[in-house]
Structures are given as structure tokens and as C-alpha cells.
Amino acid sequence: MQFFLYLSDFIVPFLILSIIVYALLKGTNVYDTFIKGAHNGFLTVIKIMPTLVGLMVAVGILRASGFLDFVSQIIGHFTARVGFPGELVPLTIVKMFSSSAATGLLLDIFKEHGTDSYIGLIGSISMSCTETIFYTMSVYFMTAKVTKTRYTLAGALLATTAGLIASIILAGMVTTGRGL
């Protein structure tokens, strides 16, 4: 185990050095290429900033208005039947829009229920195996100028559902002592 910890300290510097050496061997001006890429990245950030601000404001409004609590009470009655606590419904909804806002909700859940509780475990696992669907679609599709998303939303929602099911199963295995 100590070997892997030692090795992990050198992976990123090794990759960076490898890229630089490869570029130099190919005759690429590394500094100019880096500056050009940093400039393009900065322009991309400027382009997506209105979308990011809009998403953050929308999540803030939903959270402050009490709408998320209202939705969690309604949907929570159905999700509790399959082992998914209603308290996690707002976390799941917010995670589709903003990972940082969902992290704030998860911390609130940890304070109320504890990190090792069934609810805390499901929340932790679901945060790691679901995606910020609408953030990703809006930012990356806008940046890449994709106009026909086809089955992206349906596929992302299916993947999120699979992640939520996995979180229920894994948290159940941990709390009953049957696995992991």
C-alpha cells in the first residue's frame, strides 16, 4: 500500500513532464502552445459564465423557496417504498443541476443524520455515481455548439437512475454487514 501512495505522488508530475518531452521531440513550441490553450480556456470560461450563474441562481431559488422540501415530501412517499429516503430527493434533484449545491445539501444531511447512517451512506454513494446532467449538457453542448442532443438526456437520466439504485444496494449491504 505504501508503494501506491508513493507512486501516486509522482504520476501527475510524470505525465506533465512526458507531455513536455513529447512536444519538444515533435518540435512544438511548448510555451506558445500552452499560452494559446490557456487563452482559449479563458475565453471558454467567459462564454459559459452566464450559464453557470443562471444555474446557481435557479438552484438557490428552488432551495430558498421551500420548493425542494415540498417536492421531497410528495416524491418521498413513493421513493421510501424502494428504500430511498425522501430526505435524499432534494439532493438528487439538485445534483442534476449543481454538484457544489448538492454537496452543501449533503453536508446538511450529514449534520442531521450522521455520515455512517443509512441516509448518509446513500447520499455519499449517490453523489459519486450520478452526474450533474443539466449543467453538463448546457455547458458542454453550448461550448461545442451541439444543437441536436438526441438521446443524451434520456441516457443521462437512465444512468442516474442506475447510480441511485446502486447506492441503495451498496448502502444496504454496508448497513446490514453483508458486503464491502
- Which structural domain, as residue segments, surrounds residue 67? 49-176
Question: Is 28 part of any domain?
Answer: no
Question: Which of 156, 168, 101, 104 minimizes the C-alpha distance to 130?
Answer: 156
Q: What is the pLDDT of residues 147-161, one digit of tens each?
A: 888 899 999 999 999
Question: Is 18 part of any domain?
Answer: no
Q: Tally the domains of the chain.
A: 1
Question: Is 7 part of any domain?
Answer: no
Question: Which of 87, 89, 100 minimizes the C-alpha distance to 56?
Answer: 100
- Provide the pLDDT for residue 164: 94
Computed from CA positions of residues 70, 134, 169, 108, in that sequence, does the dihedral angle turn out positive or negative? negative
Q: Is the pLDDT of residue 50 over 60?
A: yes
- Provide the pLDDT for residue 1: 67
Question: Is 79 part of any domain?
Answer: yes
- CA dist 116 and 105 (Å) reads 16
- Provide the pLDDT for residue 13: 92
- What number is the average pLDDT over the span 43-54? 83
Question: Is 143 part of any domain?
Answer: yes
- Provide the pLDDT for residue 83: 85
Query: What DSSP line would sit under 22-34, residue for residue?
Result: HHHHTT--HHHHH
Lowest pLDDT segment from 37-46, 55-64, 65-74, 128-137: 55-64
Q: What is the Cα Rg of the chain in Å?
A: 21
Question: Is 166 part of any domain?
Answer: yes
- Provide the pLDDT for residue 4: 80
pLDDT class of 179 with cuts at 50, 70, 90? low
Q: What is the pLDDT of residues 95-129, one digit of tens each?
A: 998 888 888 889 999 999 999 999 999 999 999 99
- What number is the average pLDDT over the span 47-57? 80
- Provide the pLDDT for residue 100: 82
Q: Is the pLDDT of residue 35 over 70?
A: yes
- What number is the average pLDDT over the span 118-144? 88
Question: Is 24 part of any domain?
Answer: no
Average pLDDT, the chain: 88
